[in-house]
Amino acid sequence: MNKSNQFIGLHCISSAVKRFLPNPQAVSLAIILLVSFLLISSLSHLLMPVFVSIGIAYLLEGIVRKAERFNMPRFPAVTLVFSLFVACLVFLLFILIPIISQQAVELVQQIPDIISHAQIGIMRLPKLYPKLVSESKIQEIMLVVQTELLSYSQSLLSVSAASLMGLISAIIYLFLVPMMVFFLLKDKALLMAWFMQFLPKERHLSVGVWREVDTQIGNYVRGKLAEVLVLCAVSYVTYAVMGLNYALLLAVLMGLQVILPYIGATLVTFPVLGVAYFQWGLSNDDFMAIVIAYAIIQAVDGVLLVPLLFSEAVNLHAIAIIVAILFFGGLWGFWGVFLAIPLATVVKAVLTAWPRLGETNDFSATV
């Protein structure tokens, strides 16, 4: 019986080796993935403007294709889409960001007052619940929190050499990235033809994986962009009508929180409710109204907006999303967290298309 089991196990291993190693499609896909990963990992600090430009051009390409469907020639379509992109960039850089930055600085400057205001309320807890909370423990916790928050606020407001270098890099990006985006869109066919000559000839499986990834990521990005804009607009109107301070800043945070699934909603809760608490206090009806409005916005986003926008988008389990955020975030920091779901989509597409034992995949598609 043991010899029979061993024979079956060896036969399975042998079949797997014969299935994968001689398969030129699988080998080509593995080579492309490995080389791409090594290039991005090793050159990301040098060629980040190029990678950013490629990402933006990829997103704008979908709009260019839609314009071409209306019988618009390629160059006028690229010119129109690029002009809209530049207009949005100018609005973002010279109108929206200065207002948000001003509100952020004002909020940071209010942190000591917010801490003192919160400390007064928290120090009442030992009197209300003497058996559960001691006054010395509360003071110790508040001292640690106050020290940490003050250090963060000072670092945000201080101007250092690092921030100056960051400003110089931003100026370089401001000129280089739009220029590269334009040429990537205009000369897409030429650049793709040049790039394809370096790929293996047996690449039909790789093309199939790319088509799957292209569809899924396109749906995901379009859905996320629409979700961010809707949440920003609804949150700003709600907070402005209710008279909440820093309405635009908090609305932008509400929109950006969807980029980090599960984590973003938790993080944005503190500034929204913290500002409302400092402005009105716990006993005021306005504070409870903000809490209710915030809960309704989050519920509508999860129950209505997400299913509506992502009905055809990425279908990943919650555990897969969390694992992707932890893995890619630990690997590449903020950008890893930001790109966790698109990268997880690539992994899923590869695993779905990868040849399996007992299957006969049709790789007759042409590039």
Please indicate, yes or no, if residue 147 is contained in any of the structural domains: no
Tally the domains of the chain: 1
Instruction: State residue 242's pLDDT score.
Output: 94
CB-based burial label for 324 (10 Å; 0-12, 13-18, 19+):
buried
Task: Work out the burial of residue 11: count CB atoms within 10 Å of its CB; fewer than 13 is exposed, 13-18 middle, 19 or more buried.
Answer: exposed
CA distance 216 to 208: 13
Q: Token pair of 29, please?
A: 């896909």
Asked, for residue 270, whether it belongs to a domain, the answer is yes
> Does 55 map to a domain?
no
Which amino acid, 247? Answer: A
Contacts 24+ apart (CB under 8 A), 308-316: 309/223, 309/226, 309/227, 310/219, 310/220, 310/223, 312/219, 313/216, 313/219, 313/220, 313/222, 313/223, 314/216, 314/217, 314/219, 314/220, 314/341, 314/344, 314/345, 316/341, 316/344, 316/345, 316/348
- pLDDT tens, N- to C-terminus, the chain (367 residues): 455 555 555 555 555 544 544 466 666 777 777 887 787 778 777 787 888 888 888 888 888 988 898 889 999 999 999 999 999 999 988 899 889 988 888 887 887 777 777 777 777 767 766 666 666 777 777 777 667 666 665 555 554 444 545 666 677 778 888 999 999 999 988 988 888 787 777 667 777 777 777 777 777 777 788 889 999 999 999 999 999 999 999 999 999 888 776 678 888 888 898 899 888 887 788 999 999 999 999 988 888 887 777 655 556 776 777 788 788 878 777 667 777 777 787 787 777 766 654 454 444 444 4
Residue 341 lies in a domain: yes
Residue 4's pLDDT is what?
A: 58
Query: What percent helix, strand, coil does the chain show, rounded to 5?
Result: 80, 0, 20
Structural domain boundaries, residue 280: 203-357
Q: Are 200 and 28 in contact (CB under 8 A)?
A: yes
Closest-CA residue to 342 (of 322, 324, 327, 318)? 324
Angle between helices 318-338 and 340-353 (to 10 degrees): 130
What are the backbone dihedrals phi and psi of residue 244, each rounded to the nearest 5 degrees, phi first? -75, 135
Q: Is 297 part of any domain?
A: yes
- Does a structural domain hold residue 274? yes
Is residue 100 in a domain?
Answer: no
User: Which residues lie closer than 8 Å to 367 by C-beta, 6 or more apart?
Assistant: 196, 203, 204, 207
φ, ψ for residue 199 (rounded to 5)? -85, 155
The confidence score (pLDDT) of residue 101 equals 85
Question: pTM for the whole thing?
Answer: 0.71
DSSP-assigned letter for residue 354: S
* 300 within 8 A of 292, measured Cβ to Cβ: no
Q: What is the pLDDT of residue 160?
A: 44
How far the first Cα of the chain sits from its last, in Å, is 49
Query: What does the angle CA 5 – CA 11 – CA 14 come to, to the nearest 5 degrees?
Result: 145
Tokens representing 105 are 């600085």
- CA nearest 125: which of 133, 137, 116, 114? 133
Q: How far is CA 59 from CA 40, 85, 185, 222, 313, in A?
A: 19, 11, 10, 9, 15
251 within some domain: yes
